[in-house]
Amino acid sequence: IKAPMPGLILEINVEVGQSVKENDPLLILEAMKMENSFLSPRDGVIKSIAVEKGNAVDKGQLLVEFE
């Protein structure tokens, strides 16, 4: 999952190795004073988390990778 816009990571709700179901909350990105929740697009296992809480991210930057 990549960032659709620049912003700030407010919260990360998953850990590496965690199994997630479709529509489970993954993280919250704040952009332009709005909080955007990212939900899992499918069932899967989290392979890596490329950001940390408080990080500023650019558009297109990798956030979460699935196995």
Q: What is the residue-level pLDDT of the chain in tens, covering all 67 positions?
A: 999 999 999 999 999 999 999 999 999 999 989 999 999 999 999 999 999 999 999 999 999 999 9
Give how many domains the chain has, as a whole number.
1
Whole-prediction pTM: 0.90
The answer to whether residue 14 is domain-embedded is yes
48, part of any domain = yes
Range of the domain at 23: 7-66
**Of 30, 31, 39, nearest in space to 11 by CA:** 30
- CATH number for the domain harbouring residue 26: 2.40.50.100
In a domain? residue 2 = no
What's the pLDDT score for residue 5? 95
Query: Which residues are CB-contacts of 57 (< 8 A; sequence separation ≥ 6)?
Result: 3, 6, 7, 8, 9, 29, 51, 63
Separation between Cα atoms, residue 53 and residue 67, nearest integer Å? 22
Flag whether 1 is in a domain: no
Asked whether residue 57 is domain-assigned, the answer is yes
